[in-house]
């Protein structure tokens, strides 16, 4: 039980008394028995007839239920499935042909390894993580101002995934990179995870603005890393899970000392040296022009205002120096002092100087103004968090979540249900001269063996991406009301293996993708649907629809216009004409000037909170105001209309038509169009239909039709 101190002033004497606070919701041993809160154990492998451990778990349950598993999918289906799963792009006809012709026994494993080694793997899986991180390139709310440096965090995620940064380190750096590697600018960029919240920058009460940010960070930390709806305890004890309101603010106390920064320099030593050289050169140019003005005006000033105006000693020192001995800084000081000296008007300078000298003076003044308006581009900066010192601010429990109703003071701590007892819920914290050390303590606990959630949650997320649903159905809610895992032993076995293999996400991908369970066909098996209509026991692969980003990238890839450059600032593709008529208060954006920039991958499209790119929105792009663990998949008329009528689809069909027209015969054109859009050659019946269609329609309409079949946007 927590206690509060009450101070009473009586007759000039301060009396104190300690009174009990309201009792916290009790956390019992029964609460800790929930499957997600139990310590991780490595269950024994079942005796099912399979060489792959994953298949042994799956097949055991199928056998117990009387289910037959599906046969392996065809190679053409597998390469397309793998390619979209791992890099978010369709395989090229050459890649498909090479895989189909590869007779080596490990051809499939080689394909998995090649895709995992692709720089586009990080791009694809970064999008999944950014959905969780509620990433956006603007603030949201009324003005929705752009965040010019947000993309650096996005690129950090891409690079970390491509380098297979161990997931435990991936977590640590995003929570406390500034504390764990204070001299590494990339570690600061990683803390951009905590800055992805929507932000009302013009809020009158800036203390409330900060509290809103801390609430969002606390909520998102619980959802993303712990798979828990911690945010439900902000105003009161959690209604279903054993999470108390005091637990919420103890978790928030890890972040309370954070300083939100948007000006952190991430320049390399080379960039710094180059910037200093450019800035020095610019300052010399400005000083040269200023010196010309000073020299021209000197006789007039000596005649009309010989006594110097009262100025600082530094200006007097600069004035008394010979012109060629002044530094650019001293020249600038003198120039500014003389601009402020109003004893001589511009008209008097004009009267006192010859015509040529008058014109030269004005020309040099204009050049000073021009140069000052075009300084060298500043050093690159990033947004993230750090701390100003080791003394943290006080954290209060807020009654009903109201900043103006501060309750008891709390210290940093983890939810008690995840610890052996109250005392064990406070991890050790070591301060350093620049920070309190609180976030690094949290970061270490998140990935410690004592925490049963972080590794489980991430393993389940990866499984969800490959099968359409997790082994535990709600990937960001492992609470009491969530669905129990369909394969609890497999969930824990894979989680312990994931940790044992260095928290390597690429290892986890490879392990899952090489299982027979993943390689199954998606077609139904006679009799199975009656026993397991939802495919909970994974007797076949689930068909999955591509998300909007993958569909757009597929259109550009088929057209041959896709720009595969990796990283860098956001791009702005063209918007529908009706949107360009909106006001200029954040709803629209400046279209990128170069077509090759507009045709970059969808990951790099500017993410505006108040205006989702229409093509993505129609295909269920999530709201970036909150963490999204799994996108909804709708089937609505605007999707078909967009694929058929949008400018993007029309341009892609025209470009694809130009590609296939380079083939010599109609048959080869049809075949290439199928390969570029669907990743396979047409069947005999499809070939006949295509020939008939092209007798009465242009080739671009045929290409557009292929881009509108279900197979183009669905994976078998």
**Tens of pLDDT along 106-120?**
999 999 999 999 999
Burial environment of residue 265 by CB neighbours within 10 A (0 to 12, 13 to 18, 19 or more):
middle
CA dihedral 209, 213, 215, 220 (to 10 degrees): 160
Question: What phi and psi, each to the nearest 5 degrees, are found at residue 16?
Answer: -125, 150
Question: What separation in angstroms does the CA of 486 have from each of 149, 241, 511?
Answer: 42, 21, 19
Contact 106, 142 (CB under 8 A): no
The residue length of the chain stands at: 716
The reported pLDDT for the residue numbered 596 is 95
pLDDT tens for 358-403 read: 899 999 999 999 999 999 988 999 999 999 988 898 999 999 999 9
- The mean predicted confidence, pLDDT, of the chain is 92
Dig out the tokens for 580 from the structure.
């360009």
d(CA 488, CA 476): 16
177-203: average pLDDT = 95
121-139: average pLDDT = 98
Chain centroid offset of residue 530 CA: 41
pLDDT tier, 23 (very low <50, low <70, confident <90, very high otherwise): low
d(CA 546, CA 119): 20
The answer to whether residue 3 scores a pLDDT higher than 70 is: no
d(CA 230, CA 245): 9
Contact 426, 413 (CB under 8 A): yes
586-590: average pLDDT = 70
pLDDT tens for 660-682 read: 999 999 999 999 999 999 999 99
The reported pLDDT for the residue numbered 487 is 96
Radius of gyration of the CA atoms of the chain, in A: 32
CA dihedral 492, 497, 498, 503 (to 10 degrees): 130
Question: What phi and psi, each to the nearest 5 degrees, are found at residue 447?
Answer: -110, 20
510-528: average pLDDT = 96
Name the residue with higher pLDDT: 188 or 483.
188
The reported pLDDT for the residue numbered 585 is 52
The reported pLDDT for the residue numbered 347 is 87
The reported pLDDT for the residue numbered 587 is 57
Contact 81, 115 (CB under 8 A): no
pLDDT tens for 55-100 read: 999 999 999 999 999 999 999 999 999 999 999 999 999 999 999 9
pTM above 0.75, yes or no: yes
The reported pLDDT for the residue numbered 18 is 37
The answer to whether residue 630 scores a pLDDT higher than 60 is: yes
d(CA 336, CA 140): 41
Q: Quick count: other Cβ atoms within 10 Å of Cβ 159?
A: 17
Which range, 47-51, 315-319, 381-385, has the best average confidence (pLDDT)?
A: 381-385
**Which of 246, 211, 203 lies closest to 404, judged by CA?**
211
The reported pLDDT for the residue numbered 16 is 37
């Amino acid at each position: 039980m927590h206690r509060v101190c009450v101070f009473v002033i009586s007759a000039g004497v301060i009396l104190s008394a300690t009174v009990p606070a309201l009792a916290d919701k009790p956390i019992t041993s029964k609460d800790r028995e929930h499957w997600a809160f139990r310590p991780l154990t490595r269950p024994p492998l079942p005796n099912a007839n399979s060489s792959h451990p994953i298949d042994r778990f799956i097949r055991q349950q199928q056998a117990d239920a009387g289910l037959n598993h599906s046969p392996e999918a065809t190679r053409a289906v597998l390469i397309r499935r793998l390619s979209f799963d791992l890099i978010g792009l369709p395989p090229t006809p050459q890649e498909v042909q090479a895989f189909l012709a590869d007779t080596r026994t490990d051809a499939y494993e080689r394909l998995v390894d090649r895709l995992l080694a692709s720089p586009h793997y990080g791009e694809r899986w970064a999008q999944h993580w950014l959905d969780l991180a509620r990433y956006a390139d603007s603030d949201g709310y009324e003005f929705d101002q752009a965040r010019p440096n947000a993309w650096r965090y996005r690129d950090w995620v891409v690079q970390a995934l491509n380098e297979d940064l161990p997931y435990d380190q991936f977590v640590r750096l995003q929570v406390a990179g500034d504390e764990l590697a204070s001299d590494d600018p990339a570690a600061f960029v990683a803390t951009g995870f905590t800055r992805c919240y929507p932000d009302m920058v013009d809020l009158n009460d800036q203390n409330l603005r900060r509290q809103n940010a801390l609430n969002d960070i606390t909520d998102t930390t619980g959802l993303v890393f712990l798979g828990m709806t911690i945010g439900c305890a902000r105003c009161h004890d959690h209604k279903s899970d054993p999470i108390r309101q005091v637990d919420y603010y103890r978790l928030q106390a890890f972040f309370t000392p954070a300083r939100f920064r948007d000006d952190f320099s991430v320049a390399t030593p080379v960039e710094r040296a180059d910037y200093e050289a450019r800035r020095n050169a610019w300052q010399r140019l400005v000083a040269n022009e200023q010196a010309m003005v000073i020299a021209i005006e000197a006789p007039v000033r000596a005649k009309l205002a010989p006594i110097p105006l009262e100025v600082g000693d530094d200006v007097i020192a600069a004035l008394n120096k010979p012109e060629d001995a002044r530094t650019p800084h001293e020249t600038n000081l003198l120039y500014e002092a003389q601009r402020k000296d109003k004893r001589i008007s511009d008209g008097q300078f004009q009267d006192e100087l010859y015509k040529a000298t008058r014109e030269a003076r004005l020309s040099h003044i204009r050049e000073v103004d021009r140069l000052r308006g075009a300084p060298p581009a500043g050093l690159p900066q990033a947004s993230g968090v750090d701390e100003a010192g080791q003394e943290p601010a006080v954290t209060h429990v807020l009654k009903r979540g109201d900043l103006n109703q501060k309750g008891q003071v709390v210290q940093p701590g983890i939810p008690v249900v995840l610890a052996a007892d109250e005392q064990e819920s406070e991890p050790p914290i070591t301060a350093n001269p620049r920070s309190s050390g609180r976030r690094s303590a949290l970061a270490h606990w998140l990935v410690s063996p004592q925490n049963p959630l972080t590794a489980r949650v991430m393993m389940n997320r990866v499984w969800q991406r490959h099968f359409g649903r997790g082994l535990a159905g709600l990937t960001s809610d492992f609470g009491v009301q969530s669905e129990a895992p369909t394969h609890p032993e497999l969930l824990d076995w894979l989680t312990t293996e994931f940790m044992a293999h260095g928290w390597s996400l690429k290892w986890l991908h490879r392990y899952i993708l090489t299982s027979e369970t993943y390689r199954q066909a998606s077609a139904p098996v006679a009799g199975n649907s009656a026993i397991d209509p939802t495919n909970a026991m994974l007797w076949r692969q689930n068909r999955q629809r591509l998300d909007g980003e993958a569909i757009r990238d597929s259109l550009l890839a088929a057209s041959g216009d896709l720009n595969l450059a990796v990283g860098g600032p956001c791009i702005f593709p063209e918007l529908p004409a009706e949107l360009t008529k909106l006001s200029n208060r954040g709803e629209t954006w400046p279209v990128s000037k170069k077509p090759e920039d507009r045709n970059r991958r969808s990951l790099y499209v500017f993410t505006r909170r108040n205006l989702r790119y229409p093509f993505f929105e129609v295909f269920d792009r999530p709201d970036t105001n909150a963490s999204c663990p799994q996108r909804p998949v709708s089937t609505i008329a605007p999707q078909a209309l967009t694929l058929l009528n949008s400018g993007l689809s029309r341009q892609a069909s025209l470009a694809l038509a130009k590609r296939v027209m380079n083939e010599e015969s109609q048959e080869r054109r049809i075949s290439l169009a199928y390969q570029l859009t669907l990743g396979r050659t047409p069947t005999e019946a499809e070939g006949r239909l295509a020939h008939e269609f092209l007798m009465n329609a242009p080739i671009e309409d045929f290409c557009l039709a292929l881009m509108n079949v279900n197979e183009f946007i669905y994976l078998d």
